[in-house]
Amino acid sequence: MMRAVTLLIVLLSVPVLGAIEEYPFESDQDEARFKKLTYEMRCPKCLNANIAGSDAPIAADLRREVYQQVKEGRTNDEIIEFMSSRYGDFILYRPRLTLATFFLWFTPLFLLIAGFVIVRRMMAASQAATPADGSLSPEEQARLKRLLDQGKDN
């Protein structure tokens, strides 16, 4: 019985990454800002994690820095600028819109528009081939005539 319980506990317990520290804020708005900033900033040393969820010392340092700056009243843009000027755009999970990232942000939209254009073209082609009222298209009429003529000849 005990072995089964131990087995169950072992199987269901859960490891945690991401240091658990307290960052008390006075306003909900500040807390929301802190959360957003730390979620959207990449830990420079980790294997793809944000600074909110990482154990690494550098992530703790950066969390502390963001916390202090939010408390001081700096805006999100200012904090982002501060971080990226020191750690590069690498630290931003939301890529800035530059000439280089233009295609990143807009290609999906272009593809979507292209997709809908294709749908319209296909529908138009399909409707041209067969009139919507179910009567025969010109090609089908010609074929019918040929078949009937053949029948007449036999």
Partner 1 sequence: MNRRLKLFIPIAIFFIMAGFLLFGLNDGRNPNLVPSALVSKPFPKFTQPSLYPEMGEFSREDFVGDILFVNIWGSWCPPCHVEHPYFLELSKQEDDITFIGISYDYSMVEDRDFLAERGNPFDYNIVDLDGSLRIDLGVTGAPETFLVDQNGMILYRHIGALDADIWREKFVPLLDQIR
Partner 2 sequence: MIPELGNFSLVLALSLSILLSVLPMVGVYRNNPLLMTLSRPLCAGIWVFMVVSFGCLAHAFLNDDFSVRYVASNSNSLLPWFYKFTGVWGGHEGSLLLWVLMVASWTYAVSLFSRNLPLDILARVLSIMGIISVSFLVFMLLTSNPFDRLMLNPPADGTDLNPLLQDFGLIVHPPMLYMGYVGFSVAFAFAITALLTGKLDAAWARWTRPWTNAAWAFLTLGIALGSWWAYYELGWGGWWFWDPTENVAFMPWLVGTALIHSLAVTEKRGVFKSWTVLLAIAAFSLSLLGTFIIRSGLITSVHAFAVDPERGLVLLAILLVVIGASLFLYALRAPVVKGTASYTMTSREVFLLINNILLVVSTAGILLGTLYPLIHEAINGEANMVSVGPPYFNTIFLPLMALLTVFLTIGSISRWKKTSTAFLKDQLVKVAVASVLLGIVLPLFITREVNLSIFLAVSLALWIVFGIARDLVTKSANKDSLVKGLKSLSLSYYGMQLAHLGFAVIILGICLTSHYSVERDVRLAPGQGIEIGSYEFIFQGVVDAPGPNYRAEAGTVDVLKNGRPYMTLHPEKRTYLATGAVQTEADIDVGFFRDLFAALGDPRGEGAWVVRIHLKPFVFWIWFGAFLMAAGGVTAILDRRYRVRDAVVRDVPPEKAATGLGMKSPVEAS
Per rule CB under 8 A, is residue 88 in the interface with partner 1? yes
Per rule CB under 8 A, is residue 13 in the interface with partner 2? yes
8 A C-beta contact, residue 90 and residue 51: no
**Length of the chain counted residue by residue:** 154
Q: Whole-number minimum distance, CB 83 to partner 2, in Å? A: 12
Nearer to partner 2, 133 or 153 (CB): 133
CA distance 54 to 112: 36
Instruction: Tell me how far CA of residue 50 lies from CA of 36, 97, 113, in angstroms.
Output: 11, 20, 33
Per rule CB under 8 A, is residue 138 in the interface with partner 1? no
Binding-site partner at residue 86 among partner 2, partner 1, none, CB < 5 to 8 Å by type: partner 1
8 A C-beta contact, residue 59 and residue 46: yes
Q: Give the residues lining the site for partner 1 (CB under 8 A).
A: 44-45, 47, 56-58, 61-62, 64-65, 84-90
